[in-house]
């Protein structure tokens, strides 16, 4: 009995879910994580600005403008993440239709 025969009879167990190892799976997970981070920041951005004013990092009369600026930047980030997910799904849909036998 050789080492190859032993490896054929007792393959190593797979760890984790195979889709996680694919680049698309990681990319999708990071895009979803990015959405969660942006959502959390959007919920608390006014409190973040208020804390910056309390700490003296930001002048009080600039707080409202800073809240608007942060909100706009978060909106742009959310939009970019959404476009990334749409492109990823479109690419996956195109690959699925290109396979023989796929409907």
Structural domain contains residue 6: no
pLDDT string in tens for the chain (103-residue length): 555 555 556 565 556 556 555 777 888 899 999 999 999 999 999 999 999 999 999 999 999 999 999 999 999 999 999 999 999 989 888 876 765 655 5
CA 82 and chain centroid, separation: 10
> Cα–Cα distances in Å, from 48 out to 38, 40, 44, 72, 96?
13, 11, 6, 15, 44
Structural domain contains residue 74: yes
Structural domain contains residue 13: no
Q: What is d(CA 19, CA 92) in angstroms, rounded to the nearest whole number?
A: 13
pLDDT at 13: 58
Domain that holds residue 24: 19-98
Structural domain contains residue 33: yes
Structural domain contains residue 55: yes
Structural domain contains residue 47: yes
Task: Evaluate if pTM is beyond 0.85.
Answer: no
Region class of 48: left (phi > 0), else alpha (psi between -120 and 50), else beta: alpha
Q: Which residues contact 59 (CB under 8 A, 6 or more apart)?
A: 53
Structural domain contains residue 77: yes
Please tell me the total count of domains within the chain.
1
Closest CA to 52 of 41, 67, 40, 42: 67
Structural domain contains residue 11: no
């Amino acid at each position: 009995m050789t080492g190859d025969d032993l490896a054929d009879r007792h393959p190593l167990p797979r760890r984790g879910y195979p889709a996680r190892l694919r680049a698309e799976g990681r990319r999708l997970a990071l895009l979803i994580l990015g959405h969660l981070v942006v959502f959390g920041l959007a919920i608390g951005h006014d409190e973040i600005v208020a804390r910056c004013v309390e700490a003296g990092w930001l002048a009080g009369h600039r707080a409202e403008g800073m809240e608007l600026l942060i909100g706009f930047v978060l909106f742009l980030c959310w939009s970019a993440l959404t476009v990334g997910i749409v492109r990823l799904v479109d690419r996956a849909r195109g690959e699925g239709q290109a396979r023989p036998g796929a409907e």
